[in-house]
Amino acid sequence: MKECIERVLLSEKELHDKVAELGRKISEDYRGKNLLMVSVLKGSVVFMADLMRAIDIPCEIDFMAVSSYGSGTKNSGVVEIKKDLAREIEGCDVLVVEDILDSGITLSYLMKILQARNPASIRICTLLDKPARRKAKEVMATYSGFEVPDAFVVGYGLDYDEKFRNLPYIGILKPEVYENK
């Protein structure tokens, strides 16, 4: 895997420190509330698993799967629910946990669906934000780990063609990996 990585963008230590900081903030903000963390599969699972352990107030978790990319590196604009939540969210303080906010199309669609289910509140926590590529300008993350440049990144849950999710750091993929496909 390492030979496909151009350079490490965020080290394990940087990720760990940021997740701890986000966990502290979320714990303060949601004290006394009805926190339900919703992880968007599959990219956010690693972040979710670390973030939930950095939160020291009671919370529940659930998972949703949507697809917008196929197996490539560009957003097709077509979003489909592949797996829905196991429970209703009325009255819950929902925190949607995402790996990366890129065009924003996926989250824009997801937020509309979830808002229609009458949660007490709904916010976004994204590990990475790629503002240069935003198309859905109305999508805002209350909690955001790092701004990243306009390059395709993998690792710590993020994939290219379902691979590289198990890298413990976040790296920039060598363009020839997807150009030669």
Cα angle value 58/23/149 (rounded, 5°): 145
From CA 46, how far away is CA 42, in angstroms rounded? 9
- Binds ligand IMP by CB under 6 A, chosen from 30, 47, 63, 69: 69
Residue 62 identity: D
Residue among 56 and 176 whose Cβ is closer to ligand IMP: 176
- Torsion angle of alpha carbons 136, 142, 146, 147, nearest 10°? 30
Residue 49 identity: A
What residues have CB less than 8 Å from 9, skipping those under 6 apart? Answer: 148, 151, 153, 169, 170, 171, 172
- Binds Mg ion by CB under 5 A, chosen from 23, 43, 104, 155: 43
Window of 4-12, 26-34, 111-119, 146-154 that interacts with ligand IMP by CB under 6 A: 146-154
Residue among 63 and 69 whose Cβ is closer to ligand IMP: 69
Residue 105 makes contact with ligand IMP by CB under 6 A: yes
159 is catalytic: no
Q: Which of 99, 102, 129, 159 is catalytic?
A: 102
Residue 129 makes contact with ligand IMP by CB under 6 A: no
Q: Which residues are known to be catalytic?
A: 102
Task: Kindly list the residues in this chain that would bind ligand IMP in the complex (CB under 6 A).
Answer: 43, 68-69, 75, 98-107, 152-154, 158
